[in-house]
Amino acid sequence: MRVISIGKLKECWERHPDARIPLYEWYVKVCKAQWKSFADIKKDFNSVDSIGSQRYIFNIKGNGYRLVAAIKFTPGLVYIRFIGTHNEYDRIDVRNI
C-alpha cells in the first residue's frame, strides 16, 4: 500500500513524542501490506474498525491514539485523514474527515 499524507504522522509525533514509534511501526506495516478488502486489514490490525465511506479507524499505542484513514483498495492507496488522542477524536465530526 502507498501511504499518502505522511506529514500527518510527523505532526502527530511532534505533538505526542510517545506516539512516534507506534506510528512508525504502523506506517511500515501498512507500506508492506497488499490489502484487497477489509478482511485483509483485519488480519494485520485486529482492532481496526470500518466507520463507513471507505474509512477505517486504527488504534495506535494500545488504544492511546486513533488514526483514521481512507483506503482505496484497487489503486492501493491509504489517505491519512486524522491522527490524535481519544479526546481530540471525540471533538471532531468523523463524517467530515
Residue 97 predicted with pLDDT over 90? no
Instruction: Provide the pLDDT confidence category of residue 5 given band limits of 50, 70 and 90.
Output: confident
pTM over 0.85? The answer is yes
pLDDT given at position 94? 66
pLDDT given at position 79? 96
Across the range 67-82, mean pLDDT stands at 95
83: its cell numbers:
491522527
The per-residue pLDDT for range 38-49, each reduced to its tens digit, is 999 999 999 999
End-to-end alpha carbon distance in the chain = 20
Hey, what domains does the chain have and what are their CATH numbers?
Answer: 2-83 (3.30.2310)
- Cα–Cα dist 73/84, whole Å: 24
